[in-house]
A and B are shown apart, each in its own frame.
Chain A
């Protein structure tokens, strides 16, 4: 066979343009090393998008190999082609309707039988298949001997051993793909025999379809269609839009049931598994005695009855610390750049061209500040995606879900919901992205809706400001009560949503506990990079727009002197009465809350500007030169790196409460005039609960394709915030607090 490759290669050159692109669908079980293999083949050329109408990622890439163009389409990981998870439906619809030239079926060599169950199903489709027998090194290490020649013969497909983490076997795989794609006649897989009864039934159905519905016979792989009709697959029935009346489906089913005494789905699953099992016995030789493997040893400790939960909590602490401590120095670095050098340069440039003063303000307070808001999130999103991808790739995520499922299930959530919620205490934005580790779309949405109730780091400055002015003696208790309130509301809303929006959803927790594996660094980096880049492009645009909008609101109408007369101040005055029953019905508080939509910590800045205008302006020192600025940016970036490393190894608390710097005295006095302790507490409660910041809303839109969930989150949080704050303030008054 290799000879044909060689002869083709030599004749290829001039024909490249005429040769058609080979479309390759990459399919396989979850945890079979699929994404690592794709990354190993195409690297960063992957184009990430969404499958139409759903939140599942669609990855595609073009590759030129030996003069041939190959288009890879990465199908979502699936255990089967049943229509029960979104991933499976996507994978199967693509294979049936788009008819790729070749399927690469990634089979985990250490878990042959269950992986071959998917292979057997794909063989029904009549599309050439090349099996990448992946994780081959681990199988060898376990002492498995797999007869790939026998496998090729039994299945009628090429079988190429690969080790995606070490980039082994990839050339052979690509060569096999080209060979199979060019084969004339088509290199189709064998037709496996599912037993006399099933085969007879299928043949009868196929004949009938061909006669009665020739159009269907053109469109669908007939053998596959006959099985789906027998299995009573709703999805297929709906799609082909025939009641099946004209087909003898019922007779066929009754006959099979009579012979086997079971439902057809079981009969089919049995028949397919029988093939997978039979083949496995035929080609796989395992050592007589099984050694206790590493996964078992680790799980004895990690899933231990007594140690399981403490270990889980410790692991989460480490993740939390890594994510936020590593990113903090970089965030500070971005902050510094946005506060110092960049506005200075903009000012200098605009000064040179004699631009009017308002453009300077727009450029610095609107545009650069807006860009700053976006950039500040980049380090945290990178750190967080890295951590989550690692947890998932290593196999620990499944264990975390296993350990926590009982507690989360009580709230109507899934074991895997815990991690996004925990990370929410640092920042809600990456938490929304972290919900993608949940397989079921409903679990994903429910978790994402609840995440904003986790009191994030951006709310802390608001608490610190108010606590400094009103509750200095009981700071710890007050902060603690706010965090607990957020969690309590999450539990309440979880139960409410489960009974309303997601009523009647079948609970689904059937999860593989894959062997522990070290994820490849390259794969981790590619995932992290994809997410970070996506965030920058998509979220960046919106946030910039909102930031500029807020600038205009603060500075229009032209030449406005007092903030009260700006559009924002006017809006604050209009909205203020709504907050009257909550204890802070003044335009200052209302305006601050409006600006808090960008990020909740902005509430502090706006209050500063309103209560003590001009006081927060930076004192003008000697303006550094461009050179000094650049040097400073460079050295402080290195400083940020050092800081990140130091933070990782320092044993300081989880999040440093560094925000506790003293607010200027006049600010405190002004606030004490405007608020009472009770209304100050009410204001903090409202800040905790009211609408998530714009970035969270955009993340929701980004992750769930429609604006629907952003709108729902916005509405429910607004209502919840108002109601809870009302209860707190009015209840507090009844109890005699002031």
Chain B
């Protein structure tokens, strides 16, 4: 299960971040860390990118990045 599969309004807990290199570091700097709860807020009108809430603020990135973030659906 990865983040791009979540629908707007759904929450997940991050289990693994697969993106390699600078992007991974960037995501981590922005608070996208293993164990963190992440909620998909919106998908852009043209289908990409997505908006998520993490650490109490709003962040957006492309679906390609979201595919690299493994999540388990939070109850």
- List the interface of chain A (C-beta within 8 A of B): 79-80, 82, 84, 111, 113-114, 117, 265-266, 269-270, 273, 295, 299, 303-306, 308-309, 398, 402-407, 409, 415, 506-514
Contacts and interface: CB of A to CB of B under 8 A. Distances in A.
Nearest to A111: B57
A80 B29 contact: yes
Given A402-B44, A402-B49, A403-B45, A510 B21 contact: no
Q: Is the interface of A mostly helix, strand, loop or mixed?
A: helix
Contacts of A265: 24-25, 28
Contact of A506 (B23, B34, B44, B48): B23
B33 A406 contact: no
Given A84-B22, A111-B56, A406 B29 contact: no
Contacts of A305: 43, 45
A513 B49 contact: no
B23 A510 contact: yes
B51 to A, nearest CB: 6
Nearest to A415: B49
B26 interface: yes
A415 B50 CA distance: 13
Closest 4 CB pairs of A and B: A406-B46, A80-B29, A308-B45, A269-B28
A219 B31 CA distance: 31
Contact of B51 (A79, A114, A402): A402
A273 B31 contact: yes
B25 A84 contact: yes
Contact of A303 (B28, B33, B44, B47): B44
B59 interface: yes
Given A84-B25, A265-B24, A402-B49, A512 B44 contact: no
A513 B50 CA distance: 11
Contacts of B57: 111, 114, 512
Nearest to A308: B45
A415 B61 CA distance: 11
Contacts of A303: 42, 44-45, 51
B55 interface: yes
Nearest to B51: A513
Nearest to B27: A510
B21 to A, nearest CB: 7
B35 to A, nearest CB: 8
B65 interface: yes
A309 B44 CA distance: 9
A513 B30 CA distance: 12
Contact of A512 (B21, B25, B58): B58
B62 interface: yes
Contacts of A405: 44, 46, 48-49, 62
Contacts of B59: 510-513
B26 A270 contact: no
A507 B26 CA distance: 12
B44 A113 contact: no
Interface-centre pick from A405, A407, A507 (highest chain B CB count, 10 A) = A405
Contacts of B47: 406
Contacts of A269: 25, 28-29, 33
Given A111-B56, A303-B42, A512-B58, A270 B33 contact: yes
A79 B25 CA distance: 11
A407 B36 CA distance: 31
A510 B54 CA distance: 13
B30 to A, nearest CB: 6
Contacts of B15: none
Contacts of A80: 29
Q: Is the interface of B mostly helix, strand, loop or mixed?
A: mixed
Contacts of B43: 305
Contact of A510 (B34, B46, B48, B65): B65
Contacts of A266: 17, 24, 28, 33-34
A322 B61 CA distance: 31
Contacts of A403: 44-46
B2 interface: no
A407 B24 contact: no
A303 B64 CA distance: 20
Contacts of A406: 44, 46-49
Given A117-B31, A403-B45, 7 more contacts: A273-B33, A305-B45, A405-B49, A508-B23, A512-B30, A512-B58, A512-B59
A305 B44 CA distance: 7
B31 to A, nearest CB: 5
A113 B31 contact: yes
B44 to A, nearest CB: 5
A511 B25 contact: no
Contact of A82 (B29, B34, B42, B65): B29
A409 B48 contact: yes
A281 B62 CA distance: 30
Contacts of A407: 46
Nearest to B48: A406
A529 B47 CA distance: 39
A306 B46 CA distance: 10
B45 A84 contact: no
A509 B28 contact: no
Contacts of A508: 22-23, 26
Nearest to B50: A402
Given A79-B30, A402-B49, A509 B44 contact: no
Contacts of B60: 398, 402, 509-513
20 contacts: A79-B29, A113-B55, A114-B31, A117-B29, A266-B24, A273-B28, A273-B33, A295-B58, A403-B44, A404-B46, A405-B49, A507-B62, A508-B22, A508-B26, A509-B49, A510-B59, A511-B60, A512-B60, A513-B59, A513-B60
B46 A506 contact: no
Contacts of A84: 22, 25-26, 29
A415 B30 CA distance: 19
A438 to B, nearest CB: 15
A510 B62 CA distance: 8
Contacts of B33: 266, 269-270, 273
Interface-centre pick from A111, A269, A415, A506 (highest chain B CB count, 10 A) = A269
A415 B31 CA distance: 22
A415 B48 CA distance: 11
A69 B65 CA distance: 47
Contacts of A113: 31, 55-56
Contacts of B42: 299, 303
A506 B22 contact: yes
A383 B65 CA distance: 37
A409 B62 contact: yes
